[in-house]
Structure 1
């Protein structure tokens, strides 16, 4: 199938780990992800998904992935090396370089992203980036983007 890109906008939350956990549950609840084997029931929690990945009878599912944020489960600090299953925040320097402001809006993000996510930052498959979006200088959303799956 090949990798799939994904983008999520969520209400601003200062704690990226809490934000990621809430987004995982939203995607699981909505069923908005690729599922390789229709004979295996979709999991209701991230823990259940990881149990399927560890089970020798269904571990093949982890090779295909969900082509969604469910394939990412760690949050690293800005400037950290890329790692499998990890999202990193854009550094303040990269935010300024890409958006020419410290407080980019959703419209600014969408305009740059429409021209290709690699214009914002490069990262390997099975990982992603996130940054805070603002309205009138006030944080209102976080955008998370990446790509995963095989």
Structure 2
């Protein structure tokens, strides 16, 4: 996402975009032993489905909020990477998009449990440029 000092607003934008583009796991697509159904018209309708409530969407839609530190992290909430973790993963505490893409093959050992998310600010010319949300919400 483009950088926004309001990380919660950036998350809301990411969620809206993901829903609008249909870039999420839809359990009613006919492949999972359930009857095929069209995708919902709203996020509220999506989450009203009991199967979706159980399985999630395997996307940023499964992350509902952000918190200020990893110590505050809880399920369905994205926490910021610490400077130490960013340094370990990217070789810098101000990673660029290139640093982030190179690290994609690295073990994301900060993601310890399903349902937890993280975010990291990515820099361009040492200025905040993007926010990347990541985590594991499904198989």
TM range (shorter): 0.7 to 0.9
Aligned pairs, how many? 133
For 1:5, the equivalent position in structure 2 comes to none
For 1:104, the equivalent position in structure 2 comes to 95
Match for 1:74 among 65, 80, 85?
65
State the Cα distance separating 1:140 from its structure 2 match: 0.8
How high is the TM-score relative to the length of structure 1?
A: 0.78
Is the CA contact 1:36–1:61 (under 8 Å) kept in the aligned structure 2? yes
For 2:41, the equivalent position in structure 1 comes to 44
Q: Larger relative contact order (C-alpha < 8 A, sep ≥ 6)?
A: 1
How high is the TM-score relative to the length of structure 2?
A: 0.84
For 2:108, the equivalent position in structure 1 comes to 117
CA-to-partner distance for each residue in 1:66-106, whole Å, 9 max, x for gaps?
11111111212213244211111101232234333231111
**Higher strand fraction (1 or 2):** 1
- The runs of at least 4 consecutive aligned structure 1 residues that moved more than 3 Å come to 38-41
How big is the alpha-carbon RMSD for the aligned residues of Structure 1 and Structure 2? 1.8
